Amino acid sequence: MSNPLKIGIAGLGTVGAGTVRMVTERAEKLKAATGRAFEITAVSARDKKADRGVDLSGYEWLDDPLAMATHSNVDVVVELIGGADGIAKDLVEAAISGGRHVVTANKALIAHHGTALAGAAEKAGVSLAYEAAVAGGIPIIKSLREGLAGNRIQRVYGILNGTCNFILSAMADQARDFDDVLAECQKLGYAEADPSFDIDGIDAAHKLAILSSVAFGCEVNFDAVHVEGIRQISLTDMQFADELGYVIKLLGVAAVQGAGGETSLEQRVHPCMVPKNAPIAHVSGSLNAVVAEGDFVNTIVQEGPGAGAGPTASAVVGDLIDIARGANIPTFGVPADQLKAMTPVPMHKHVGAYYIRLMVVDEPGVLADVAAAFKKHAVSIESVLQRTRDPGEPVPVVLTMHETEESALTGALADIAAVKSIIEPPRMIRIEAL
């Protein structure tokens, strides 16, 4: 029997406590799967006295988590502190330098520093594992890096933030306003007091940057991700989407454009109009889903819980199992020094169809002004929906546009916003071809 795998856990919040519980409750199963016992030998967190619902008395408590990096009784450091920089980054760098494997759920750290950390880990001959950083309990990193490694991935996209999906699902299903649902999420603990990280799309963008690297063999480039959140989505937009045959989802989408040596990478997070018949349209509540399109496998869809103690701990333990088995897989699927620096596709170059909602004073000539602006910028209208109200009252006018380059559309909308009869900024949602 091999030596036990000795584990140090830094960060004992929901995921840390869940990891302790899973390692202890599934001890025999883990040993049978890997031929090694799993032993938690050291733990660290800010508050030693906090009640975490698990017994920590048998583990060495370290006031300084950095001590794990050189601890003689730690083979693997599990970093669950969080944050792109600070103590989390220091710990991971020190652990790698000290010859310890690293497992992390820290999406921000990997999104901002993943390429450099991967290079350091591979040079040191240790693993840097991060399945728990993307989509919680969905094993999408393993799927892309291993199961689909023989495919050329053309596009990967998904619902990558459960809070946003919960809010949008409740708005659509219960005919409720954004602010109302967000307040409920905060009351239930689904959203933070400051929900910006989730509802402004940053969390999803971190995850998309990581998925892009694994899917396309490129350097992690969070700064190249176009990011928009869901604050501007209204119940009115939800209702028009339903009438037009769509649902609204916050998606992260990454796709390679071009061929051969001329490829570039589009990475974007924003609300999308998704056809009702698309599988991802039916992913509701706080669930996540990831879709990958490969040249041999065609399309695969994986759906599951994207956060929480159990699902995220499951991903952490899955990485520990790989380490215990001696798996030696490059961090992002190919050696770090072979990761490509792909040219980003700016959002103004995006080509697609669009939903536009205008609030107009219903008076003669206003639609002619709108049509003239679209004609000026060579943007083609596909359909128009208009509601009738009393003359002089504001009325919503909804247009869907044929595929066009986004720069042309934004130029037209800037002209339309200047029309006197348009009483609020035009609302635009991209229609995603899935």
Alpha helices, H only, 150-266 = 162-174, 178-188, 196-199, 202-216, 235-244
Burial class from Cβ neighbours inside 10 Å (0-12, 13-18, 19+) for residue 21 reads: middle
Strands 351-361 and 394-405, bridge-based pairing: antiparallel
Q: Are 114 and 213 in contact (CB under 8 A)?
A: yes
Cα torsion angle, 282, 286, 287, 290, sign: positive
Catalytic residue, chosen from 187, 207, 249, 375, is: 207
Torsion of CA 234, 239, 245, 246, to 10 degrees: 20
Give dist(CA 36, CA 336) in Å, integer. Answer: 29
Structure tokens at 338: 């072979």
Give the residues across from 79 on adjacent strands. 10, 104
Give dist(CA 160, CA 288) in Å, integer. Answer: 5
Say which residue the tokens 């988590």 belong to: 65
Q: Does the annotation count 123 as an active-site position? A: no
DSSP state of 3: P
Residue among 396, 399, 360, 368 at smallest CA distance from 381: 399
Give dist(CA 90, CA 92) in Å, integer. Answer: 6
Active-site residue numbers? Answer: 207
